[in-house]
């Protein structure tokens, strides 16, 4: 695939703000001339993620990641650089321009695999919606099921792009083939089962005869579907006919544990006091929406994951769970407590009767189902856990013992000592055990965890570094942020001084070498593409671009940095001579004498490093 032209990349950077790219993933708040928010790459309570709209870059201090809008999408969506460029260009209507053999071209270039999948799923969504609103008998029955049987409105069907997959399992395949998609592209898309009729080569729709709801990512792109069985549809050829729901398999654009149904809409309706409502499935979300609970979300056909809770935490730490009242739903609620409390989330839970699900229960609460009313009926974590184990275990003593052990295991992972104390105090009230007894019991169990937690903190702190940790990195800071010193640096610096055994030295060598060959140019994101950098070098480039550069007495610091580089180079040369002289028995006397003279010269230069650098610098 040809490279996108530098002029085109610069046009995208000029027309698109990184704030618009980051906002769907992070709740940004103004911080001077920048914006800040919780890291989208790690779990944290204090915002350490900054976006600079003037430079069009981001910096995440908790993870160390930094870069421009393309780099952000590469990290968040696991895209290649080309795919990130394609995605932004399409969304913001910037025509792509390519370069091939030194010539600039505007042409139809084969799109990336992920872009093809997004396009296919968008077409499939349109196909299912068209089938839902058709005037034939089957479509009319589907709409009657939606409105009369389930009690949902037409407006909700439009809002959630509800569709219907025809009973004829080949209709979707034929439609997409007419749209120009090849069989080889459609087969691995996740939309189809392989046909048993090898001669026909048609692919059977995975959701045939089902009510279909599209699953969208945080950007609002359709990436998967959830299909619910319809009681009036008979389809003997469907291998999953007996399953209540059929969900998309994982694909390059859909990972179940990393998505939440309706998050792209729910995040836009959060208020200062309104929480996320975490419910069982897509139709539960639709019911919540119709009752005004527009912050409802649901997992995607899989057990609740830590990643899903971290997604919610970027926008709000207040979550109210409400799953089915049966045993499986109660266990899902306990998982929410286990994962959520260790992340520092503010959790509550609406425990339904064992024969109720959120959809049916909410439908029966139409007159008073506000988020305030739900909060009044919800339980705090400790009371919920106690009631949950009492429902799951017939023996009351066994239930209490298991509940206490479960609470201890959660509190051992909880980062807040205040939450631990308050939880133990609540547990004392629930069980009747003295608080001091519970504290002592918990402390004994928590000692091993606390020690391991401290070790992990030390390891993490040791991994965090900055480009300013080396002389090469400090010199890069000047080249990136104080370009007026570049010519002076080139006059003094020798390429031999640079340690190219580490990424920071490799990047400095490439930049200085390019400056020597082509002249000094501003180090922008666009010029980065011309240097053919490795992944560590690119990461370093992003980090230096995004981090602030503020020092006093810049000229003095620069001279000191150059002295450090020269000094390190001299020491390395002396060390190499010492190693060679250690093998003097294998070399002649003249060579030994030459080495001694050279070593003396280097030692003398080492003593006078400050004089040598200042002489060249002047």
pLDDT in tens, 398-429: 999 999 999 998 888 887 788 888 999 999 99
pLDDT in tens, 108-162: 555 568 888 999 999 999 999 999 999 888 899 999 999 999 999 999 999 999 9
pLDDT confidence of residue 452: 54
Query: What confidence category does residue 297 fall into, taking pLDDT thresholds of 50, 70 and 90?
Result: very high
Mean predicted confidence (pLDDT) in 41-53: 85
Mean predicted confidence (pLDDT) in 90-105: 68
For CA atoms 511, 515, 518, 523, give the dihedral sign. positive
- Tell me how far apart the alpha carbons of residues 324 and 333 are, in angstroms, rounded to a whole number: 9
| Token pair of 503 as six digits | 């990424």
Rounded to the nearest 10 degrees, what angle do helices 503-518 and 535-546 cross at?
80
Residues 6+ apart with CB under 8 A from 426: 380, 382, 383
Residue by residue, DSSP assigns 271-322 as -SSPPEEEESSHHHHHHHHHTT-TTEEB--SS---HHHHHHHHTT-SEEEEE
Residue 557: its H or E element: helix 554-581
Q: Which has the higher per-residue pLDDT, 608 or 23?
A: 23
Residue 197 has pLDDT above 60, yes or no: no
pLDDT in tens, 210-246: 999 999 988 889 999 999 999 888 766 677 777 888 9
Rounded to the nearest 10 degrees, what angle do helices 81-91 and 113-132 cross at?
40
Residue by residue, DSSP assigns 93-128 as T----EEETTEEE----PPPHHHHHHHHHHHHHHHH
Mean predicted confidence (pLDDT) in 194-200: 58
Residue 518 has pLDDT above 80, yes or no: no
Q: What is the pTM of this model?
A: 0.66
Look-up of token digits 């549809």: 233
- Tell me how far apart the alpha carbons of residues 323 and 378 are, in angstroms, rounded to a whole number: 12
- Tell me how far apart the alpha carbons of residues 293 and 273 are, in angstroms, rounded to a whole number: 13
Residue 529 has pLDDT above 60, yes or no: yes
What percent of the chain stands above pLDDT 70? 86
Residue 176 has pLDDT above 60, yes or no: yes
Residue 215: its H or E element: strand 210-216
pLDDT confidence of residue 262: 95
Number of CB atoms found within 10 A of residue 587's CB = 13
Query: What's the whole-number average pLDDT of the chain?
Result: 83
| Token pair of 88 as six digits | 């932004």
Contact 89, 80 (CB under 8 A): no
What are the Cα distances from residue 223, in Å, to 184, 252, 523, 539, 581?
A: 19, 9, 37, 29, 66
Q: Which has the higher per-residue pLDDT, 600 or 391?
A: 391
Contact 121, 222 (CB under 8 A): yes
Residue 334: its H or E element: helix 327-342
Residue 572 has pLDDT above 60, yes or no: yes
pLDDT in tens, 5-45: 777 888 888 888 999 999 888 888 888 888 999 898 887 77
Query: What confidence category does residue 74 fall into, taking pLDDT thresholds of 50, 70 and 90?
Result: confident
Rounded to the nearest 10 degrees, what angle do helices 554-581 and 471-481 cross at?
140
Least confident of 183-187, 290-294, 569-573: 569-573
pLDDT confidence of residue 489: 80
Query: What confidence category does residue 200 fall into, taking pLDDT thresholds of 50, 70 and 90?
Result: low
- DSSP structure class, residue 58: E
- Tell me how far apart the alpha carbons of residues 401 and 387 are, in angstroms, rounded to a whole number: 13
Mean predicted confidence (pLDDT) in 589-593: 76
pLDDT in tens, 302-361: 678 988 998 898 888 899 999 999 998 999 999 999 999 888 899 999 999 888 888 888
């Amino acid at each position: 695939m040809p490279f996108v032209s530098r002029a085109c990349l610069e046009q995208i950077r000029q027309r698109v703000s990184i704030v618009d790219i980051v906002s769907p993933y992070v709740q940004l708040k103004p911080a001077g001339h920048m914006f800040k928010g919780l890291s989208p790459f790690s779990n944290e309570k204090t915002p350490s993620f900054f976006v600079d709209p003037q430079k069009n870059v981001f910096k995440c201090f908790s993870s160390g990641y930094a870069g421009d809008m393309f780099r952000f999408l590469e990290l968040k969506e696991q895209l290649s650089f080309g795919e990130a460029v394609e995605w932004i260009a399409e969304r913001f209507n910037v025509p792509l321009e390519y370069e091939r053999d030194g010539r600039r071209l505007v042409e139809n270039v084969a799109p990336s695999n992920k872009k093809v999948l997004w396009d296919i799923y968008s077409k499939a969504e349109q196909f299912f919606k068209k089938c839902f609103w058709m005037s034939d008998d089957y479509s009319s029955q589907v709409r009657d099921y939606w409105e009369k049987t389930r009690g949902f409105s037409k407006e909700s069907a439009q809002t959630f792009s509800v569709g219907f997959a025809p009973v004829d399992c080949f209709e979707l395949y034929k439609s997409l083939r007419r749209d120009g998609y090849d069989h080889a592209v459609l087969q691995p898309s996740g939309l189809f089962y392989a046909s048993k009729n090898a001669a026909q080569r048609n692919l059977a729709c995975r959701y045939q005869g089902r009510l279909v709801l599209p699953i969208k990512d945080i950007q609002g792109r359709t990436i998967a579907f959830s299909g619910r069985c319809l009681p009036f549809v008979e389809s003997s050829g469907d291998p999953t006919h007996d399953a209540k729901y059929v969900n998309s398999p994982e694909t390059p654009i859909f990972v179940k544990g990393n998505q939440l149904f309706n998050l792209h809409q729910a995040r836009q309706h959060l208020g200062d006091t309104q929480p996320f409502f975490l419910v069982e499935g897509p139709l539960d979300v639709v019911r919540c929406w119709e009752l005004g609970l527009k912050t409802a979300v649901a997992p995607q056909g899989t057990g609740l994951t830590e990643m899903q809770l971290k997604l919610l935490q970027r926008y709000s730490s207040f979550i109210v769970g409400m799953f089915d009242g049966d045993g499986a739903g109660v266990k899902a609620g306990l998982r929410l407590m286990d994962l959520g409390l260790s992340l520092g989330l503010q959790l509550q839970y609406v425990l339904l009767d064992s024969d109720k699900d959120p959809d049916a229960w909410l439908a029966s609460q139409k007159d008073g189902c506000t988020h305030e009313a739900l909060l009044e009926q919800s339980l705090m974590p400790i009371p919920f856990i106690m009631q949950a184990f009492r429902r799951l275990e017939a023996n009351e003593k066994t239930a209490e013992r298991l509940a206490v052990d479960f609470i201890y295991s959660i509190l051992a992972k909880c980062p807040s000592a205040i939450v631990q104390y308050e939880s133990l105090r609540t547990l004392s009230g629930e069980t009747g055990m003295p608080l001091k007894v519970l504290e002592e019991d918990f402390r004994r169990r928590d000692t091993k965890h606390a020690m391991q937690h401290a070790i992990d903190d030390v390891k993490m702190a040791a991994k965090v570094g900055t480009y300013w940790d080396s002389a090469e990195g400090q010199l890069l800071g000047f080249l990136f942020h104080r370009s007026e010193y570049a010519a002076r640096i080139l006059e003094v610096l020798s390429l031999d001084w640079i340690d190219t055994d580490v990424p920071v030295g490799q990047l400095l060598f490439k930049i200085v070498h390019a400056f020597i060959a082509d002249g000094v140019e501003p180090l922008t994101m666009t010029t980065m593409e011309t240097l053919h950098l490795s992944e560590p070098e690119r990461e370093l480039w992003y980090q230096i671009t995004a981090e602030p550069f503020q020092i006093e007495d810049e000229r003095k610091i620069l001279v000191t940095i150059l002295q450090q580089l020269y000094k390190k180079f001299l020491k390395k040369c002396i060390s190499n001579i010492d190693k060679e002289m250690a093998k003097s028995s294998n070399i002649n006397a003249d060579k030994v004498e030459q080495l001694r003279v050279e070593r003396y010269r280097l030692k003398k230069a080492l003593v006078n490093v400050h004089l040598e650098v200042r002489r060249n610098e002047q």
